[in-house]
Chain A
Amino acid sequence: MQNKIFDAENCVRTFGHGKKIVTAVDDVTFDIKDGEIVSLVGGSSCGKSVLAKMMLGLHKPTSGNFLYKGKPITDHKAHWREVQSVFQDPFSCFNQFFTIRSQLKAAFGIYKEKPSNAEMEERVDESLMAVNVKPSEIEGKYPFELSGGQMQRMLLARIFVLRPQVLIADEPTSMVDACVRANILDYLMKLKKELHMTIVFITHDIGLAYYVSDRLFIMHKGKIVEQGSPEEVTTKPKSEHTVQLLEDIPDVNREWIKKK
Chain B
Amino acid sequence: MKLLKNLLKSPMFVIGTSLFSLVLFAAFIVPWFYDITTLQRVGDSYGAPTAQYLLGLDHLGRDYIVLLLRGLRSSLYVGLLAGVIATVLGTLIGLIAGFKGGIVDDVLSALTNLFVVIPQLVLLILISASIGDTGRSLTLIAVIIGLTGWTWSARSVRAQSSAIKSKDHISLARLNGDGGLRILLIHILPYLFSYVFMVFIILISAGILSESAISMIGLGPVDTQSLGTILNDAKNNGALSDGYWWAFLPATGIIISIALSLYLINTSMDGVFNPRMRK
Residue ID in chain B nearest A93 by CB atoms? B168
**Per-position contact with A for B165-191: 1 when CB-CB < 8 Å, else 0?**
001110111111110000000110011
Q: Which of B172, B177, B178 contacts A93 (CB 8 A)?
A: B172
- Tell me the residues in window 72-107 of chain A with beta carbons closer than 8 Å to chain B beta carbons: 76-77, 80, 84-85, 87-89, 92-98, 106-107
- Contact A109–B168 (Cβ < 8 Å): no
- Contact B190–A92 (Cβ < 8 Å): no
Q: Which residues of chain B are near A80, meaning CB under 8 Å? A: 174-175, 177
- Contact A94–B172 (Cβ < 8 Å): yes
Instruction: Tell me the smallest distance from the CB of B102 to a CB of chain A, in Å.
Output: 15
Residue ID in chain A nearest B193 by CB atoms? A97
**Per-position contact with A for B71-110: 1 when CB-CB < 8 Å, else 0?**
0000000000000000000000000000000000000000
Question: How many residues does chain A have at the interface if contact means C-beta atoms less than 8 Å apart?
Answer: 23
A207 to B171, CA, bound (A): 28
Take A92-B167, A94-B169, A95-B169 as given contacts and tell me if A110 and B176 are in contact as well, using a CB distance cutoff of 8 Å: yes
Residue ID in chain A nearest B189 by CB atoms? A97
Q: Which of B171, B173, B186, B191 contacts A87 (CB 8 A)?
A: B171
Q: Which of B168, B175, B178, B190 contacts A89 (CB 8 A)?
A: B168
Q: Which residues of chain A are near B169, meaning CB under 8 Å? A: 92-95
Instruction: Tell me the smallest distance from the CB of A55 to a CB of chain B, in Å.
Output: 12
Q: Which of A76, A85, A88, A97 contacts B190 (CB 8 A)?
A: A97
- Contact B190–A77 (Cβ < 8 Å): no
Task: Please tell me the size bucket of the interface on B.
Answer: 10 to 19
Q: Which residues of chain B are near A107, meaning CB under 8 Å? A: 176
Residue ID in chain B nearest A76 by CB atoms? B174
Q: Which residues of chain B are near A88, meaning CB under 8 Å? A: 168
- Contact A87–B168 (Cβ < 8 Å): yes
A107 to B187, CA, bound (A): 14
Instruction: Tell me the smallest distance from the CB of A176 to a CB of chain B, in Å.
Output: 15
A98 to B187, CA, bound (A): 10
Q: Which of B168, B171, B176 contacts A106 (CB 8 A)?
A: B176
A56 to B168, CA, bound (A): 14
- Contact A95–B177 (Cβ < 8 Å): no
Residue ID in chain B nearest A56 by CB atoms? B175
- Contact B176–A109 (Cβ < 8 Å): yes
Q: Which residues of chain B are near A92, meaning CB under 8 Å? A: 167-169
- Tell me the residues in window 208-225 of chain A with beta carbons closer than 8 Å to chain B beta carbons: none
Residue ID in chain B nearest A90 by CB atoms? B168
A80 to B190, CA, bound (A): 26
**Per-position contact with B for A48-82: 1 when CB-CB < 8 Å, else 0?**
00000000101000000000000000001100100
Instruction: Tell me the smallest distance from the CB of A88 to a CB of chain B, in Å.
Output: 8
What would be 30 A-B contacts, judged by CB atoms less than 8 Å apart? A58-B171, A76-B174, A80-B174, A80-B175, A80-B177, A85-B175, A87-B168, A88-B168, A92-B167, A92-B168, A92-B169, A93-B168, A94-B169, A95-B169, A95-B173, A95-B186, A95-B187, A95-B190, A96-B191, A97-B190, A98-B186, A106-B173, A106-B176, A106-B178, A107-B176, A109-B176, A109-B177, A109-B178, A110-B175, A111-B177
Residues of B within 8 A of A (CB): 167-169, 171-178, 186-187, 190-191
Q: What 6 A-B pairs have minimum CB-CB distances, sorted nearest first? A: A110-B177, A97-B190, A109-B177, A92-B168, A93-B168, A109-B176
Additional A-B contact list (7), CB under 8 Å, known A56-B175, A80-B177, A85-B175: A80-B175, A87-B168, A92-B167, A96-B191, A97-B191, A106-B173, A110-B176
